[in-house]
Structure 1
């Protein structure tokens, strides 16, 4: 068990009141407020040995000992909630230390609740067994994901969850770090709670405050989560190779750094000539669908909650099918890191027309119309690493058409490594013509259609990946596209098919460290996505 937070108190017995306009809090005081701008609405550390003031629905709830006294939900066969507080509470922060103990299946969770209307309608911040945290809305028992982020989740370890609701703004924190944020106006007030979904868990140090809420002592990283290999701070893989007049990928290094907080400022910055580092602060709503990025740019999100919604990035010149070799003005030397992509109407990121030396790293994408990252029309020397693709359909296309061999043959050299393909459906990647395409140390779980497809004589190396609940990990040919080549080695398969390989592929020319596939699931799920650099 992690050390108790510094703000923790054992005082019990004083009933809170907040004047004529506020109903008396249902629980007794156990927390010192954090400052003049914050006031405590409710607190419970369960050291009195009871759960007075809490009402439960489903599960089996008791106060027990787990290092200290805690509220424990001990059934893994139900959806369970414990609620407290008053329906008139409006803007507040609800925080609790949460220790998932046992998950009965995949994608199970423990959560804190805010603005509870009933046992089937509320906002909640859920710590899921697939190493994500989700900010969600439940209406009449039907859930909608408002935002999501990757986070290491270890059964038996304590995590501090905090859900802030202010007006229509919702923010979710894990261990003091802002990971999810959304806007929703379904409810303006309501009770608080804790919950589990087919999970046993302990809850402790529940605190509801106005203002910013208490600041927890950071929870230590579970010791059973591998931390190797080290995550790169410079481009590796194909993006590091000296070719086409470019020595590696440095992005906007050497140019000015600008921080943008509006869509107009962002679009202006990425269109400027010359090197530039563009720091994105917050979620920016773009007019859509695709916006051009010029050469020598680093685009990086600040924190874990920054990114783009409503539009995507185009790294490349306008389409010209008559060009069959790299033009001198091809877009090159671009880095895109630490961005959340939401609701894109075309592609989240599109790399085209012989663009080269591109590094796409530590991003998270969820809902969009077409691809998460597409690379096509002769582009090459691209590395796509440590990204979290959460539930996307057409995820990563490499080579757009069977008839584009004139531009693509001998190009489309891309490294895909340490990405988390989280319940994605297809194109993880789907490859035409590219050679050598290197797919290594990625984590695939609950893939809907297939993982990797090699077509049109593409050469793909699939090594050291972890496939969990994937019926078709990799195969040759796809739809009307003819077969390519796959060399598969050192992969792990859990409740998955064996994959289809064949042919030979030359070795890649760059150095790399291969993580044993047995460590890939825990390592990648803890390190991929935004907020990890």
Structure 2
């Protein structure tokens, strides 16, 4: 659990909060009522506990469900859990998965302005097939507004309940569906509920500004075809910088499907057949393709590239790697390698948008637009190495990029996970930008970070991160090697920290990336303009 306090509270409050946290020995940071922070509280339960949550009824526990989640396990109780302090204006968001309902009129919900556990506003998914915005004042729930909705057990939804002044608004998966006006509760805590229903909850985020899709926030971009490229206009050429360019592990740089034939695909069947085909192949994707849920395996020696600015996939993601196997501690001969993924839009992945695992190597992920998935947007783990992630725009997503999946996976990861991140636009992605374990050197240069409310680069579990020439704007904790779990090492140099950004919390020494490859840094003061003009889809030549 990570509870945030804004720097704008001043040095005295900061010092007092630090002393309080040290005495309590519980919270990573301290929330201050009335602070002008955008992020008031965030909990993804990855620390394995639910410290700070007060419970009433039900059976609450942190369990594994892909990642760790907070589960209310029974349907026989009116179960509630609340956390935080007495905030006034608040936006409470969480991922919610209904599991089972005990009859009609039951719901799973997020809570705002909770007065203890008995009185609160709630936004719930109901067993009657509706979204309900309501309130409780110590008794039975009262409906303020409702809307029909397909509520499916076992499916994840993102609920957000906003309470600003007397205005209440409820969002499901980023779309406003209910609203009301009420003045019963001017302030209170945030919470979760299973009203005679079982559910899993994850990625709780409380802010004092509207979330994505709110009136003062940028709308979630929808992929739009801005051109109609002629057949054959598929940009398959190009070469990476950084670790994907290095000759290692029997592979000379990253060339993808070079030397193989080129195919154009515009259906899920064609795409999935092509990415799994053996031998070098250039795959040109036309338009947005909806694929089945889950991760779809990509074979070695592939270039997968979008045509124009309107190509991509939704509903699933790419898996670049063999099946996970903790017993394998050295690269197998058949490890997936030499894969290029460029110029694609990724939306609504049911797991990761792109996952690289099991000693996969020489992978180049470049000029993509990724958002709105279930877990990571680009996760790299289990001994993978010689990867470059460049010129991507990520947005409207919390768990952005993970490098190394577990603090206990040193047997596979130590000496590997050599990855370069350059010229990416981390656009309001709260955390994992990236979150790094074991890899060294992990080279993070010339990226643009804006309003990352938890952390920018988090370097832990003996990782070595070289962070240079980046532009951080409104990032409270830009670089740290003391984020959570075992500490890592980081060197931060020649970065720009703009608009009340914090400063690096770094210690230790790190291998130089220049020992592996040549590179030239852009002027960090120009990085914001360079990256916003060049990152994302539709920015590479044919």
Q: TM-score range by the shorter chain?
A: 0.5 to 0.7
Provide the residue aligned with 2:31 in structure 1.
none
Deviations 1:419-473, CA, capped at 9 Å, x for gaps: 0000001000000000000000000001121000110110000000000011110
Q: Which residue of structure 2 lines up, in the alignment, with residue 378 of structure 1?
A: 383
Matching residue of 2:442: 437
Q: Secondary structure at the match of 1:287?
A: coil
Per-residue deviation, 1:313: 0.2
Q: Quick one: which of 485, 490, 497 aligns to 2:489? A: 485
Partner of residue 425, structure 1: 430
Provide the TM-score with structure 2 as the length reference.
Answer: 0.57
The answer as to 2:249 corresponding to 1:244 is yes
Matched, 1:474 2:479: yes
Is the 8 Å Cα contact of residues 391 and 425 (structure 1) preserved in structure 2?
no
Aligned ranges 1:70-469 → 2 under 5 Å: 145=219, 147-148=221-222, 171=224, 173=226, 177=227, 233-469=238-474
8 A Cα contact 1:429 1:453, kept in partner: yes
- The alignment partner of 1:520 has SS state of helix
Aligned alpha-carbon RMSD (Å): 2.0
Instruction: Report deviation, 1:145.
Output: 4.2
Mapped to 1, the partners of 2:266 and 2:413 lie a distance apart of 37
Choose 434-443 or 500-509, whichever is displaced more: 500-509
- Name structure 1 gaps, 5 residues minimum: 1-136, 150-170, 180-231
Q: CA deviation at 1:391?
A: 2.4
Could you give the per-residue CA deviations for residues 26-54 of structure 1, whole angstroms, max 9, x where no partner exists? Answer: xxxxxxxxxxxxxxxxxxxxxxxxxxxxx
Q: Spell out, residue by residue over 1:77-136, the C-alpha distance to the aligned partner (whole angstroms, 9 max, x if none).
A: xxxxxxxxxxxxxxxxxxxxxxxxxxxxxxxxxxxxxxxxxxxxxxxxxxxxxxxxxxxx
Q: Find the residue that maps to 1:435 and give its secondary structure.
A: coil
Q: 1:296 offset after TM fit, Å?
A: 0.2
1:516 is aligned to 2:520: no
3-state DSSP of counterpart to 1:521: helix
C-alpha separation between the residues in 1 aligned to 2:494 and 2:477? 17
Say if 1:262 and 1:413 are closer, same or farther in 2 by CA, change over 3 A. same
Q: Is the 8 A contact 1:420 1:528 kept in 2?
A: yes
2:504 corresponds to: 499
The aligned counterpart of 2:537 is 530
Does the 8 Å contact 2:225/2:309 carry over to 1? no
C-alpha distance in structure 2 between counterparts of 1:314 and 1:237, whole Å: 22
Pair member with larger Rg: 1
8 Å contact from structure 1 (residues 359, 384) kept in 2? yes
Aligned to 1:155: none
Whole-Å separation in 2 of the counterparts to 1:253 and 1:233: 10
Is the 1:310–1:345 contact (alpha carbons within 8 Å) kept by the matching residues of 2? yes
Instruction: Kindly provide the CA deviation profile for residues 121-173 of structure 1, in whole angstroms up to 9, marking residues without a partner as x.
Output: xxxxxxxxxxxxxxxx999x799946357xxxxxxxxxxxxxxxxxxxxx574
Say if 2:328 and 2:412, in contact at 8 Å, map to a contact too: yes
**Kindly tell me: are residues 415 and 143 of structure 1, through their superposed partners in 2, closer, same or farther at Cα, counting changes over 3 Å?**
closer
Q: Which has the higher contact order (CA 8 A, sep 6+)?
A: 1
Runs (4+) off by over 2 Å = 141-149
- The superposition leaves residues 330-369 of structure 1 with CA deviations (integer Å, 9 ceiling, x where unpaired) of 0000000000000001100000000000000000011111
**Cα distance in 2, alignment partners of residues 387 and 266 from structure 1:** 22
Per the normalisation by structure 1, the TM-score is 0.58
Distance 1:282 1:418 in 2: 25
Unaligned runs of 5+ in 2: 1-211, 230-236
